[in-house]
Amino acid sequence: MKALYTLLLVCCSWAGLKSQPPAPDFTVTDSHGQQHHLYADYLNQGKTVVIELFFTYCPPCNAMAPLLEPFYQSWGGGNGDVEMISLSTKSDDSSADVAMFEAAYGHTFPGVGADGGSINASLPYRNGTYGLFFGTPTFIVIAPDGSVNYDVRGPNYQATIDSLDAAIAATGAVLPQVSFTAGGTVATKTGAKIPGVAILIAGTADTLAITDSTGHFSFTTLLTPDQPYFLTASRDSNYRNGVTTHDLLLISRHILGIGQFTDPLVLLSCDANHDRQITTLDLIFLRRLILGIDLELQNQQSWLFVNSNYQFLIPSNPFSELYTGNAGKAPFSSQSSGAFNFTGIKVGDPNNTADAEH
């Protein structure tokens, strides 16, 4: 019986949503004398519109007001996929009153007083057409197709902002990209700086920066807020650099169990054929490099790069963590700060004699 009741409740709720009319059009004049047409200026242009029902002397409206301008700017400040308009619900709230309210809180989104048409424009959202009106502030998210998400709110002010973000995203609106600047250094485990290393965002082919003669790099790019990114490093040059018969001897001793390596970076340097283990096949490929039979390794890069802050979960078997895991990635987002540093590993050079500049 309980399951049947729940099903009926869901069906009735869905039917109610389906029967809701699209948002009625309106034309209002904001506190600065600018006219706004809901459909012609915004919805028909593919924008999502957030309506705030408020009045200037409403205590909860004043309490929430400081959160609204940062929220508005996060969605592009009217220049992206979203516009926001506040409509006063009180007939004694004039455009002058709204202008003072906006100035007090630094609001740059349009605000409309009673003399600008806010009473008529807000009436459909106060008369029960879309649901019970519980007072101000009340937020309505209107999709470009005119569909209405009425009374978007959370248990507190910040939760309401979070709910608005989700409701806006559900309309197809996309957060505008923001500029992001960062930098860092690429060096060997002994501290030798490595020039000519390409810095990229994982999953893209565009190089953000190339390390200079001191191993440093910096870049500026556009990022989507709240989206995770990973920075990677790449350099593929002079395979024979640093590869000597001494390295082959050290690798042989490791294979024989006479002098085994324990450093994960050294272990990675010995895998010449990218098969995630150290065997005599690696010795064969490296020997061919030394003899000049091959100029490069068939399945392996010349240099490997590890995020300097990464801690290997299995130091004795680091191959998967680098090849398909997170060891070679530096995670970041538009909110990240600080330097991104990578450690370079010359394949075939466990004793670190490679010239980092070549």
Residue 16's pLDDT is: 42
Which are the contacts of 208, defined by CB distance < 8 A and separation ≥ 6?
Answer: 199, 200, 201, 217, 219, 221, 231
Across the range 90-101, mean pLDDT stands at: 98
Confidence of residue 205 (pLDDT cuts 50, 70, 90): confident
Helix, strand or coil, per DSSP, at residue 29:
strand
pLDDT 10s digits, 306-342 = 999 999 999 999 999 999 999 999 999 998 999 999 9
CA distance 328 to 230: 9
Across the range 205-230, mean pLDDT stands at: 93
Percent of the chain with pLDDT over 70: 95
Across the range 95-103, mean pLDDT stands at: 98
- Residue 193 backbone dihedrals phi, psi, to 5 degrees: -75, 140
CA distance 216 to 214: 6
Residue 94's pLDDT is: 98
Instruction: Give the distance, in angstroms, between the CA of residue 66 and the centroid of all CA atoms in the same chain.
Output: 24
Residue 2's pLDDT is: 41
Q: Does the structure show a pLDDT above 90 at 152? A: yes
Under a CB-based contact definition with an 8 Å cutoff, are residues 113 and 96 in contact? Answer: yes
Q: Does the structure show a pLDDT above 80 at 166? A: yes
Residue 269's pLDDT is: 98
CA distance 208 to 190: 26
Q: What tokens were used for 252?
A: 């042989």
Which CATH number is 20-170's, of 1.10.220.10, 3.40.640.10, 3.90.550.10, 3.40.30.10? 3.40.30.10
Q: What tokens were used for 307?
A: 């995020």
Under a CB-based contact definition with an 8 Å cutoff, are residues 350 and 270 in contact? Answer: yes
State yes or no: cis peptide before 225, omega within 30 of 0.
no
Residue 12's pLDDT is: 40
Diameter of the chain measured on Cα atoms:
91
Q: Does the structure show a pLDDT above 90 at 161? A: yes
Alpha carbon separation from 253 to 52, 193, 230, 270 (Å, rounded): 73, 29, 37, 12
Q: Does the structure show a pLDDT above 60 at 120? A: yes
Average pLDDT of the chain is: 93
Residue 203's pLDDT is: 87
Residue 19's pLDDT is: 66
pLDDT 10s digits, 257-315 = 998 999 999 999 999 999 999 999 999 999 999 999 999 998 999 999 999 999 999 99
Q: What tokens were used for 63?
A: 């309490």
Residue 206's pLDDT is: 86
> Which has the closest alpha carbon to 263: 209, 336, 343?
343
Please give the full DSSP string across 275-288, using - where no structure is assigned: SSS--HHHHHHHHH
Under a CB-based contact definition with an 8 Å cutoff, are residues 178 and 225 in contact? Answer: yes
Q: Does the structure show a pLDDT above 90 at 6? A: no
> Which has the closest alpha carbon to 131: 53, 38, 46?
53
Under a CB-based contact definition with an 8 Å cutoff, are residues 282 and 268 in contact? Answer: no
Please give the full DSSP string across 93-124, using - where no structure is assigned: --HHHHHHHHHHHT--S-EE-GGGTHHHHHGG
CA distance 89 to 53: 6
Percent of the chain with pLDDT over 90: 90
Angle at 168 between CA 116 and CA 147, to 5 degrees: 70
Residue 5's pLDDT is: 38
Q: Which helix (H) or strand (E) holds 160?
A: helix 157-170
CA distance 152 to 144: 17
- Pairing between strand 48-54 and 82-88? parallel
CA distance 64 to 3: 39
pLDDT 10s digits, 20-63 = 899 999 999 999 999 999 999 999 999 999 999 999 999 999 99
The structural domains of the chain, with segments of one domain joined by +, span 20-170, 177-358
* pLDDT higher at 242 or 15: 242
- Pairing between strand 138-142 and 48-54? antiparallel
